[in-house]
Amino acid sequence: MASALRAGRRLRRAVEGDELAGLPAGLRAELEAALASEGALVPFSLLRSLHAALREAGRPRRSGSRRPRPAGPPVTDSFPAESPLYLHELLEGSEIHLPEVPVPPRNPELVARLERIKAKLANEEYRRMTRNITGQEMNGTLAEFGRQVRSVKAVVITIFNFFVTVAAAFACTYLGSQYVFVETAARVLSAVIVASVVGLAELYVMVRTLEGDLGKL
C-alpha cells in the first residue's frame, strides 16, 4: 500500500528556495530531511502537515487579532495575507511511491506435486480421447468385415442356387417326359434342353447379382 510520495522538481525548488520560508522551522526541517533521503520520499503524514500549514498561512487575518507564534526564535512570516501557494501546485511532477511487494520463494515440494498432478490430468485426458478414437476405428473395422462376409455369403448362395435350379429342372423334365416319350434318349435330350434353358436364364440373373455383390466388396 502506498504511504509516501516521490518529490518532484517543483516541491524541491520550493523547499530549497524561499517560497516556504514562512512555515514552522520543524516542518521545514522534516521536509528537507525527507528530500535528502534515498529516493526523496515524502510521507503522506508530512504532506498533511504541509497542507494544514499552507491553509493556516493562507487564512485572512482579523483586525485586532494576531495568531499566537510558537515558542522559540521568531519566524518571519513571508506569506502574504492570503498565501498563493497550494499543495496541488507544489506536488506537480511528483509521483506516488509504490513499494515492491516481496515475492516469497515457491516451495519445491509443492511445485513438484503440482507438476505431477498436471501430468496425471494430461495423461487421463489423453487416454479418454484415444479411447474414443480406438473404439470408433474398431467399430468401423468390424462393420467393414461384416459387410464383406455378407457379400461373400450372398455370392456362395447364388452359385449354389444356380446348380440346384439346373439339377431340379433336369430331374423334373426327365421324370415328366416319361409320359410323352418312351425312349430314354428322348427323355434325356428333352431334360437337357429344358435344363439348359433354365440354366441360361439363371446364369443371366446370377451374373447380374454377382456384379452387384462384387461391386460392394
Q: Which residue has the cell 487579532?
A: 65
Q: Where are the domains of the chain?
A: 4-97, 108-216
pTM of the model: 0.39
Q: Which residue has the cell 506516488?
A: 96
User: Which of 17-26, 80-89, 126-135, 169-178 holds the top average pLDDT?
Assistant: 169-178
What pLDDT was estimated at residue 84? 63
Q: What does the chain come to in residues?
A: 217
Are 38 and 6 a contacting pair, CB within 8 Å? Answer: no
Q: Per-residue pLDDT averaged across 6-12, rounded?
A: 83
Close Cβ partners of 104 (under 8 Å, ≥ 6 residues apart): none
Close Cβ partners of 57 (under 8 Å, ≥ 6 residues apart): 22, 23, 77, 79, 83, 85
Close Cβ partners of 198 (under 8 Å, ≥ 6 residues apart): 165, 166, 169
Percent of the chain with pLDDT over 70: 78
**pLDDT for 186-200, tens place per residue?**
888 988 999 899 889
Q: Which three cell numbers stand for residue 58?
A: 493562507
